[in-house]
Amino acid sequence: MKAFIQTLKNIYKIEDLRVRIFYTLGILLIYRLGSYVTLPGIDPNQLAGLKKQTSEGVLGLLDMFSGGAFSHASVFALGIMPYISASIVIQLLTIAVPYFQRLQREGESGRRRINQITRYLTVLILCLQAPGYVANLHAQIPESAFIIKSSFFTISSVVILTCGTIFVMWLGERITDKGIGNGISLIIMIGIIARLPFAFASEFVSRLEVNGGGLVALLVEIVMLFVVILLTILLVQGTRKIPVQYAKRIVGNKQYGGVRQYIPLKVNAAGVMPIIFAQALMFIPITVAGFANAESLKGFAAAFANFTGFWYNFVFAILIILFTYFYTAITINPTQMAEDMKKNGGFIPGVKPGRKTVEFLDTIMSRITLPGSMFLALVAILPAFAMISGISNQFAHFYGGTTLLIMVGVVLDTLQQIESHLLMRHYDGLMKSGRIKGRSGSI
């Protein structure tokens, strides 16, 4: 405890770090206050239907990522997710389209151009999502809740929702430039954490009921949650570089040198992206069933609409494993790595440069990706097991999936930023080892 207090004092002594932390907290406070500002023309006291709709299922996840802004019909209701969707599209285009590949190779100027295109695509996505959100408002809340009942409300709400997301994007960029970094990731994380007290309070009340299991059951749930968090930390920490010695042991070459060297390969190079891709595909049967009249199709889609069902979670896990290999293959190019090593005069001891090095790196990547993908799939389906065991839907989301991975990853990245400032000023770090490993990247 004494060491922790001393670390806080050291953080406060560093003026630049202190200013960055307070600036970040101020920006996050603005974002949280904005999530409670209801769209003009709506009575905030008549949103019970919308809150019920977002209490579980797909919209429940969207509401969690927006920090409750979705269910409050806030000016930030669409949150930062349209920007995330646009970023994913642009990232895929940099693999398939030569123009984006050239921009990626142009350095800082190319990066600025890609960011500008991402913003334009975000506005385009918002022009499609904002009218859909307004139409959903008309379907979920009574007409008496609309103070303004003309087409002016629809047009103004679409403009406000679009500007709200753009403003959230700007807040994230401010945190990245003048705060402690990873602005978009911090905004998503703070929205998720904001729902945790309400979910825990709901679970606490349910456990105190007659058949709720009492405080003992709640204590067991908390212990299991900490165990899952530790497992997720291991998964995120698994993104560290793999020593050459360990890599050769995986391949089967036991004749490795004693010099400790590293190659830039990761156990979980894909991060949380495979879960996002797989989850998007799992929503397709539900969407198709909504437009189909065939009872058989609806029955098929019903099996995939059950988040706690066997087939949903089995297919979900398989898709995550496949997407992990796919995303790793498109982000890590063994051929390019081998060429860069050769140009810089580097080599792997015991492996010939050129084609042998490419085969060596590809074999290692394939073998270390398998346990990483299986671990990622396990973490992704843990909320289903939590729901089956009787935990409420809202609290169960914190037992794994995208929610927990984002929280753990962003917290580790933030601590790593603070650790770097402390060590650079010759202060003791947050950990005795002085080495906090993050995800080495942002969402």
User: Does 283 fall in a domain?
Assistant: yes
Looking at the fold, whether 159 and 239 belong to one and the same domain comes out as: no
What is the rounded average pLDDT of the residues 88-110? 82
The answer, yes or no, to whether residue 96 has pLDDT greater than 80, is no
3-state secondary structure (DSSP) of residue 74 = strand
Looking at the fold, whether 177 and 214 belong to one and the same domain comes out as: no
3-state secondary structure (DSSP) of residue 437 = coil
The answer, yes or no, to whether residue 282 has pLDDT greater than 90, is no
Q: In the structure encoding, which two tokens stand for residue 162, read together? A: 């679009």
Domain count, the chain: 2
**pLDDT value at position 299?**
60
Does residue 433 or residue 256 have the better pLDDT? 433
Q: In the structure encoding, which two tokens stand for residue 387, read together? A: 């729901």
Looking at the fold, whether 233 and 170 belong to one and the same domain comes out as: no
The answer, yes or no, to whether residue 254 has pLDDT greater than 50, is no
Predicted TM-score of the model (pTM): 0.76
User: Does 7 fall in a domain?
Assistant: no
**CB distance 379 to 401 below 8 Å:** yes
User: Does 73 fall in a domain?
Assistant: yes
- Confidence label for 441 from pLDDT (cuts 50, 70 and 90): very low
Strongest mean pLDDT among 78-87, 153-162, 238-247, 339-348: 153-162
Q: Cα separation of 256 and 365, whole Å? A: 18
Looking at the fold, whether 170 and 36 belong to one and the same domain comes out as: yes
Range of the domain at 358: 209-443
Looking at the fold, whether 144 and 219 belong to one and the same domain comes out as: no
Strongest mean pLDDT among 51-65, 222-236, 296-310: 222-236
Lowest-pLDDT choice from 13-17, 35-39, 198-202, 243-247: 243-247
The answer, yes or no, to whether residue 30 has pLDDT greater than 90, is yes
Looking at the fold, whether 141 and 283 belong to one and the same domain comes out as: no
Looking at the fold, whether 152 and 99 belong to one and the same domain comes out as: yes
Strongest mean pLDDT among 71-80, 166-175, 259-268, 350-359: 166-175
**pLDDT value at position 260?**
47
- Confidence label for 261 from pLDDT (cuts 50, 70 and 90): low
What is the rounded average pLDDT of the residues 34-56? 82
What is the rounded average pLDDT of the residues 77-99? 83
Beta bridge pairs of residue 242: 263
Looking at the fold, whether 213 and 176 belong to one and the same domain comes out as: no
**pLDDT value at position 161?**
92
Distances in Å between the Cα of 200 and the Cα atoms of 205, 207, 375 are: 9, 10, 26
The answer, yes or no, to whether residue 166 has pLDDT greater than 90, is yes
pLDDT digits (tens, 9 = 90+) for 371-417: 888 888 888 888 888 888 888 877 888 887 777 877 887 888 788 88
Looking at the fold, whether 223 and 360 belong to one and the same domain comes out as: yes
**CB distance 225 to 424 below 8 Å:** no
**pLDDT value at position 257?**
45
pLDDT digits (tens, 9 = 90+) for 293-314: 445 555 666 666 677 778 888 8
Nearest to 87 by CA among 157, 169, 179: 169
**pLDDT value at position 121?**
92
3-state secondary structure (DSSP) of residue 41 = coil
**CB distance 259 to 385 below 8 Å:** no
Looking at the fold, whether 146 and 218 belong to one and the same domain comes out as: no
pLDDT digits (tens, 9 = 90+) for 359-380: 888 888 888 888 888 888 888 8
User: Does 193 fall in a domain?
Assistant: no
Q: In the structure encoding, which two tokens stand for residue 260, read together? A: 């400790």
User: Does 58 fall in a domain?
Assistant: yes
**pLDDT value at position 438?**
55
Nearest to 71 by CA among 44, 40, 100: 44
User: Does 439 fall in a domain?
Assistant: yes
Does residue 404 or residue 246 have the better pLDDT? 404
Q: Cα separation of 228 and 219, whole Å? A: 14
Q: Cα separation of 21 and 283, whole Å? A: 38
Looking at the fold, whether 315 and 362 belong to one and the same domain comes out as: yes
**What CATH number did the domain enclosing 100 receive?**
1.10.3370.10
User: Does 3 fall in a domain?
Assistant: no
**pLDDT value at position 253?**
46
The answer, yes or no, to whether residue 350 has pLDDT greater than 80, is no
User: Does 220 fall in a domain?
Assistant: yes
What is the rounded average pLDDT of the residues 192-215? 80
**pLDDT value at position 255?**
44
Q: Cα separation of 416 and 421, whole Å? A: 9
**pLDDT value at position 162?**
93
b/e string for 200-238 if b means 16 or more Cβ within 10 A? Answer: beebeebbeeeeeeeeebbeebeebbeebbebbbebbbb
Looking at the fold, whether 140 and 272 belong to one and the same domain comes out as: no
